[in-house]
Structure 1
Amino acid sequence: MAHIEDPNRQVGYLQQCLSSDKKPIGLFLGAGCPMAVKTGTDGKQPLIPDIAGITKIVCDELSKCKDCGPLLTTVQGHFTNDGRDNPTVEDMLTHIRALRAVAGKDQVRGLCADKLDQLDKRVCTLIHQIVDKALPDTETPYHRIAAWVDAVRRENPIEVFTTNYDLLMEQAFEDCCVPYFDGFAGVRKPFFDLRAMEEDMLPPRWARLWKLHGSVNWYQVANKGVFRGTASNDGDLKRVIHPSHLKYQESRRMPYLAMIDRLRAFLKKPTATLILCGYSFRDEHINEVIVQGLQCTQTAVAFALMFDKASKCLHAMPLAANRPNLNVLARDGGVIGGQESAWPEKDAESVSSDAGRWVTWIPVDPTNDKAKRRAEFALGDFAVFGQFLQELVGAVRQPLEVPSGK
């Protein structure tokens, strides 16, 4: 990285964008975000694991099942034969559904339709069990996002996009009494309403929450559409968890394409600003939507806040190198304005002892107190990003006590 860039300048740009009451602002929350919420007796366990962690749990549980274990072995054999290493649970679901789409009443690659349906349902049930968690308190990054959304009267609604299936953002909005719309209407049995999404006449103070890959509380009812809620007995209901990009029957009624369209529509807005956190850029379809949107709207800009060093952002860096309004801000550098950059180094004595939380200065040689310090950009940590938002708006609103009804 030959070019040296000041990370504090990027922090200033982010502060300016996120404090604006006129810009269209969107947040994109990836699978890394729930990992910033720590639980357990040691306070170090992530509330929900990342995709690799979820994949391991799902595979371990499937391997214990006498019915699904052999099916899992068959599917894993497909990946091995096809030369695809380390498939995630999302890759497996996509593969299972691709086979199901062509199986009909016959078999395909050693699996019949009934077995594929059985495996699909079991995987989705396990995902539900893993990610259906509640936030432990009101000081989480999710609550800080909700407080930030509620703090400023804006001309445009805040739009939150997420690939996560959990209900953490919903809980935070409700804990903080922030109204939001997620594409569903109703109380007893909320139903997916495509027309309401497309017309979108709600006031700007309502946040929009778009769950691109579905949710643990969405269900598809045959010939009736998609509903949100809980089901004590799944029966023939299908959970709407769809990391795959297959074109479902009557797909325009399905939430997936409608949610993707909302991302496209957001990026068409002049001066739109999209902040991505916890997203690894492994989803090629979503990457395509983001890159094409930024290409079509030159005044739009995206900031990808990465947890890891730039050398580990293998999917994000090449995209940003060819798209000047996609900025990748990693721990030790990134790509800014299409140019690969490193954060600077400074002499120890020139680094202020009260250096900010958003950019920290780490000794190049930890054994030498007088060694040069290198800058580290900290906002790729979702917990730190939550603190950043809180500093912009102040304290998080405490949830109301809800009467028990007794």
Structure 2
Amino acid sequence: MPGVEELTLRAIAGLDGDYKAAAESIRVELGSKANIETILTRIRLLQQALGPAKVFNLDAEGYRDLGARICMQIGQVVGAPLPTDRNAYTELVSWVGGTLRTHAVEIFTTNYDLLFEEAFESARASYFDGFTGGNAPFFDPVTVASDDLPPRWSRLWKLHGSLGWALAGDRVVRRGGREATQLVYPDHLKYELTQKQPYSALFERLRKFLLSPDTLLLTSGFSFRDAHICAVLDEALAMNANASVLAFQYQKVAAEEPACKLACDRPNVSVYAADGAVIGGIHGDWRPGEPPKNWDEIRATFWGQRWPGGAHEFLLGDFALFTRFCALAQATDLSRTVPVAPGSTEVDTPEEKAA
């Protein structure tokens, strides 16, 4: 599943003619801020504003069609099914469902794919995603806002929409499958209440979660470049000093500027990057010393070589290694799998057994 930058390139590459030229022109105009989501936002603003006038050779109807075509391209890219063998999603769901909890686990994701849904269903683990019903499940903001479901039901909130969501009259419904793509990332300036409602309710749920006493949010794979989400984080963390965010970042500290800026402003945000961290508003490099007795096996689950021959670094910014770390928390005898070069197989290192 590609990141947002690669997804942007693939979605535009799948267009042709004036549609491709217009999308490329918008991407160039947006500069460093350009990605598939900012491009879609600009397209929908042009769709609302233009009427019969033309920009980059497209009028309002042309931009309506362009937005739909880009969403179809997104659906083709992110519609890959969950593998049947063990993977990061199944390990995370096993960890979520493997412990009796007082409070439900809530997963907030900006991804459009159906991998979380498939992982929950393959494990026969109960979850709620804001929709209710059997024939054409409809979005129910009242249940999203409440906590009526039992804690064993995980909550899955898709902040940027999802494959399978569609409009049916004045309702947002979940049709199932990967064909419905019209509600993939509707921007947050939506012009119809029916299309605005799921996103306003889901963002309010994120705010409510962060305002809960002693709440903990773990982030993985999030760049902190989404202005809407970061605004909610900043506001809620300023109001609730007892909330904490632990941000596990894949790159080095220097490349994680948005996350580090928020961590410097809000000491209840901690950033853990490959070569260093920002904790309590203070930046520092990782300098692991001699581990305590019997600590080598534990350290190997979060510190080591991400790839054979690579430098030793903090590992949990890698989503696959983060989910393995979660799985190891409940394991009695499970090895941490070390990824190797593409084209090779994974290797379980016997010296990294977890107790």
Normalised by the length of structure 1, the TM-score is: 0.74
Asked whether the 8 Å contact 1:306–1:380 carries over to 2, the reply is: yes
Residue 165 (str. 1) matches residue 165 (str. 2):
no
Q: Which has the higher contact order (CA 8 A, sep 6+)?
A: 1
Which residue pairs with 1:50 in the alignment? 3
SS in 2 for 1:171: helix
Asked whether the 8 Å contact 1:159–1:208 carries over to 2, the reply is: yes
SS in 1 for 2:164: strand
Q: Identity percentage over the alignment?
A: 36
SS in 2 for 1:317: helix
Deviation at 1:254, TM superposition (A): 2.4
Asked whether the 8 Å contact 1:165–1:211 carries over to 2, the reply is: yes
Residues 271-280 or 136-145, more deviating: 136-145
Question: 2: distance between equivalents of 1:347 and 1:179?
Answer: 43
Residue 116 (str. 1) matches residue 57 (str. 2):
no
After superposition, give the CA deviation of every residue in 1:266-291 in whole Å (9 maximum; x if it has no partner). 00101000000011111111111112
In the superposition, relative to structure 1, how do residues 376 and 233 fare at CA in structure 2: closer, same or farther (>3 Å)? closer
* Structure 1 segment 2-401 matched on structure 2, within 5 A: 48-62=1-15, 65=16, 69-80=17-28, 82=29, 84-85=31-32, 87-104=34-51, 106-107=53-54, 110-221=57-168, 223-230=169-176, 239-242=182-185, 244-250=187-193, 254-344=197-287, 346=289, 356-360=299-303, 376-394=313-331
In the superposition, relative to structure 1, how do residues 206 and 75 fare at CA in structure 2: closer, same or farther (>3 Å)? same
Question: 1: distance between equivalents of 2:103 and 2:298?
Answer: 34
Deviation at 1:78, TM superposition (A): 4.0
Question: Which sections of structure 2, spanning at least 5 residues, go unmatched?
Answer: 333-355
In the superposition, relative to structure 1, how do residues 314 and 246 fare at CA in structure 2: closer, same or farther (>3 Å)? same
Deviation at 1:137, TM superposition (A): 2.5
SS in 1 for 2:236: helix
After superposition, give the CA deviation of every residue in 1:47-86 in whole Å (9 maximum; x if it has no partner). x111111111112111xx3xxx313313432453x46247
In the superposition, relative to structure 1, how do residues 351 and 193 fare at CA in structure 2: closer, same or farther (>3 Å)? closer
Asked whether the 8 Å contact 1:274–1:303 carries over to 2, the reply is: yes
SS in 2 for 1:152: coil
Asked whether the 8 Å contact 1:358–1:377 carries over to 2, the reply is: no
In the superposition, relative to structure 1, how do residues 134 and 260 fare at CA in structure 2: closer, same or farther (>3 Å)? same
Asked whether the 8 Å contact 1:251–1:257 carries over to 2, the reply is: no
In the superposition, relative to structure 1, how do residues 243 and 337 fare at CA in structure 2: closer, same or farther (>3 Å)? farther
SS in 2 for 1:111: coil
Asked whether the 8 Å contact 2:171–2:194 carries over to 1, the reply is: no
Normalised by the length of structure 2, the TM-score is: 0.85
Asked whether the 8 Å contact 1:317–1:328 carries over to 2, the reply is: yes
